[in-house]
């Protein structure tokens, strides 16, 4: 299926690894020009090379901290200047640390809010004028299935990420029909983070092998964890003309693990 994304410009935040990078790769395979940011120089350079090998479009990869308003604004402006405009935004962010409510400090709450919510506020606010003027303007927020069903020991993700869904629903109403806004709710995917956790469990003797550990990581009816590109392809689809009547939607991509 041709998603008609060739030549479009896509900005993906915190996308030098994990699900953000997988989403950027899906756009690159469709011939889009892609801009990504991250905070680790080695990851930024690796993402630049990987995306350049994935598609024929131009690639911009820069160091930027999405919890810093000025750096987010600079990233948006550099994307527009370098790639010639902006058609699609994908917001992504690393997850906050685990922990129960009574052990979570006030500073951790504020830090999580900047990471998960204000980064989306800043990115979409600065991007909006360009998305409005595009004939294909879209936003897709990568959140978590924790916005629909709480996950034990993840109070920050459970509570704070839900604000992004409220923001997404509001923007979809305020910005339509010029800009469509959606969210995806990933379940377990075989990202570098999960790979690290499984490998650590193998070292502790909890599993005999990595394959055994990853096989038990998800209780999804499909019987496995997802691959990052499976999430990325959904993000690209929601951004495409093939999803032109989809906005204000929070779509689980979790292999059916959500019970609600």
Cα separation, 60 vs 211, whole angstroms: 35
What is the average per-residue pLDDT within 8-26?
97
Q: Are 155 and 101 in contact (CB under 8 A)?
A: yes
Instruction: Check pLDDT > 90 for residue 79.
Output: yes
Residue 37: the pLDDT is: 98
Residue 236: the pLDDT is: 98
**What is the secondary structure of 31-88 as a DSSP string?**
T-EEEEEES-HHHHHHHHHHHHHH-SS-EEEEE--TT-HHHHHHHHHHHHHHHS---E
Residue 250: the pLDDT is: 98
Instruction: Check pLDDT > 80 for residue 1.
Output: no
Q: Which residue did the predictor score with more confidence, 188 or 128? A: 128
- pLDDT band at residue 201 under the 50/70/90 scheme: confident
Query: Which domains, from first to last, does the chain contain?
Result: 9-188+228-253 (3.40.50.720), 190-225 (no CATH)
- pLDDT band at residue 56 under the 50/70/90 scheme: very high
Q: Which residue did the predictor score with more confidence, 220 or 174? A: 174
Question: Nearest-CA neighbor of 88 among 3, 206, 166?
Answer: 3
For 106-122, what is each residue's pLDDT tens digit? 999 999 999 999 999 99
What is the average per-residue pLDDT within 20-37?
98
Instruction: Check pLDDT > 80 for residue 30.
Output: yes
What is the average per-residue pLDDT within 93-100?
88
Return the minimum-mean-pLDDT range out of 17-21, 101-105, 196-200.
196-200
Residue 206: the pLDDT is: 87
Residue 202: the pLDDT is: 85
In sequence order, the β-bridge partners of residue 36 are 12, 61
Instruction: Check pLDDT > 90 for residue 200.
Output: no
Instruction: Check pLDDT > 90 for residue 94.
Output: no
Residue 228: the pLDDT is: 96
Instruction: Check pLDDT > 90 for residue 197.
Output: no
Instruction: Check pLDDT > 90 for residue 16.
Output: yes
- Count other Cβ atoms within 10 Å, centred on residue 155: 22
Cα separation, 37 vs 12, whole angstroms: 7
For 156-183, what is each residue's pLDDT tens digit? 999 999 999 999 999 999 999 999 999 9
> Rounded mean pLDDT of the chain?
95
Number of residues assigned to the chain: 260
């Amino acid at each position: 299926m041709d998603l008609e994304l060739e030549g479009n410009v896509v900005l993906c935040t915190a996308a030098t690894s994990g699900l953000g990078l997988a989403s950027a790769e899906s756009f690159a395979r469709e011939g889009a020009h892609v801009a990504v940011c991250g905070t680790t120089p080695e990851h930024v350079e690796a993402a630049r090379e990987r995306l350049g090998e994935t598609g024929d479009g131009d690639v911009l990869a820069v160091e930027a901290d999405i919890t810093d308003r000025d750096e987010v604004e600079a990233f948006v402006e550099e994307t527009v200047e370098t790639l010639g405009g902006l058609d699609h935004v994908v917001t992504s962010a690393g997850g906050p640390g685990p922990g129960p409510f009574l052990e979570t400090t006030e500073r951790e709450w504020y830090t999580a809010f900047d990471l998960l919510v204000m980064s989306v506020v800043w990115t979409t606010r600065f991007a909006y004028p360009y998305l409005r003027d595009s004939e294909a303007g879209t936003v897709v927020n990568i959140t978590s299935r924790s916005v629909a069903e709480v996950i034990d020991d993840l109070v920050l993700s459970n509570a704070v990420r839900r604000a992004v869904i409220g923001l997404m629903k509001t923007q979809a109403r305020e910005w339509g029909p010029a800009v469509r806004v959606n969210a995806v709710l990933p379940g377990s995917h075989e990202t570098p983070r999960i790979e690290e956790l499984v490998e650590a469990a193998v070292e502790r003797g909890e599993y005999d092998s990595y394959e055994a550990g990853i096989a038990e990581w998800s209780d999804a009816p499909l019987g496995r964890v997802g691959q990052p590109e499976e999430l990325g392809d959904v993000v690209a689809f929601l951004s495409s003309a093939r999803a032109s009547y989809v906005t204000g939607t929070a779509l689980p991509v979790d292999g059916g693990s959500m019970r609600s």
